[in-house]
Structure 1
């Protein structure tokens, strides 16, 4: 507005084709008028008479900016946020599944370890029982062999004893017959001597009893 008035003052009025010459000093230029208005009136955007237009253009600019953002930037941001939310949800689901799989794997490992320990304990117990059974069987077999050998030895001892006793009786009978014949010069039969030796042996056994 100020520039337009200044330019209007600098133009020379014309009548038809010929310029009208005015008397006096030349009119001021537009730059000089603008500087003078700024120095005397202040900065126009800060003048109260321009506040209504400034608020109107501010509202129009804000509305246009809001419309542009709501149509372009906000949907893109909403899509990015939604994708990020979906990705985070998928990652959380995957993490929960992996945690569940890890827990199942740990439980299966602990169960396998417990079963392995139980099997090893059972194998060791079976080995001890088998060794004990083998030792008992070996001991019984050795005892049976010893009993058999002892019985056989006792049988042989009994045979030897019986044979020795028989030989002793025979020797005693022969010795007694020889002594009697030598001392008495009598002819004593072997049967009489045997009866006498048996009677003496029976009497000795009675006295020992």
Structure 2
């Protein structure tokens, strides 16, 4: 390597110029370049810190908004459940009121129908008694030639009474 030829008289001059140029380069770097690099690094560090603080503030704000949203949602759910329960109670009360009205109306109709049925049954039984009396009277008159109306009435009443007694025992 020719650069390391220590026998060369120019070697000392080259080393001196190397030291001068290196010192000048170090001075220029320390005076001009490095302060600007440090300034850029400080500016960058400050901007990063500001962005991190802004991000933390935004995160805290978002967390607060999320908590408020959850609280509002929970309140809305509770209000909705309350409204649903109130509506259900109202509907049940209305249904019970309508059922009572309908039951009263049906009970009245059933009572009226039972009264009509009893009247129709009594009328039919009265007609049946009269038909029975007439038929029995005619049969007895044809068979014997004479019929006692009082005896026929008593016999028909006895048979119908026995029939009614059997009907009431059967129910």
TM bucket, shorter chain: 0.5 to 0.7
| CA apart distance, 1:159 | 2.1
Q: Structure 1 residues 207, 150: closer, same or farther in 2, change over 3 A?
A: closer
What is the DSSP-based 3-state SS (H/G/I as helix, E as strand, rest coil) of the residue aligned with 2:121? helix
Q: Deviations over 1:175-200 (max 9, x none)?
A: 878998995498x7x7x765454334
The aligned residue for residue 198 of structure 1 is 157
**1:156 aligns with one of 96, 104, 116:** 116
Matches of 1:67 and 1:114, distance apart in 2: 67
The aligned residue for residue 4 of structure 2 is none
Give the gaps of 5 or more residues in structure 1: 1-46
| CA apart distance, 1:158 | 0.9
Q: Does 1:147 align with 2:107?
A: yes
The aligned residue for residue 90 of structure 1 is 50
The aligned residue for residue 76 of structure 1 is 36
TM-score by length of 1: 0.47
Q: Structure 1 residues 207, 113: closer, same or farther in 2, change over 3 A?
A: closer
Aligned length: 160
Q: How does 1:162-177 map to 2 (within 5 A)?
A: 162-169=122-129
Q: Structure 1 residues 54, 196: closer, same or farther in 2, change over 3 A?
A: closer
Structure in which a larger fraction of residues adopt helix: 2
Matches of 1:180 and 1:55, distance apart in 2: 172
Matches of 1:124 and 1:156, distance apart in 2: 49
- Asked if the contact 2:137/2:147 (under 8 Å) is kept, the reply is no
Matches of 2:31 and 2:12, distance apart in 1: 28
Matches of 2:31 and 2:44, distance apart in 1: 20
The alignment yields a C-alpha RMSD, in angstroms, of 5.1
Give the gaps of 5 or more residues in structure 2: 1-6
Q: Deviations over 1:42-68 (max 9, x none)?
A: xxxxx9434434433443443344234
Between 1:142-151 and 1:171-180, the stretch displaced more is: 171-180
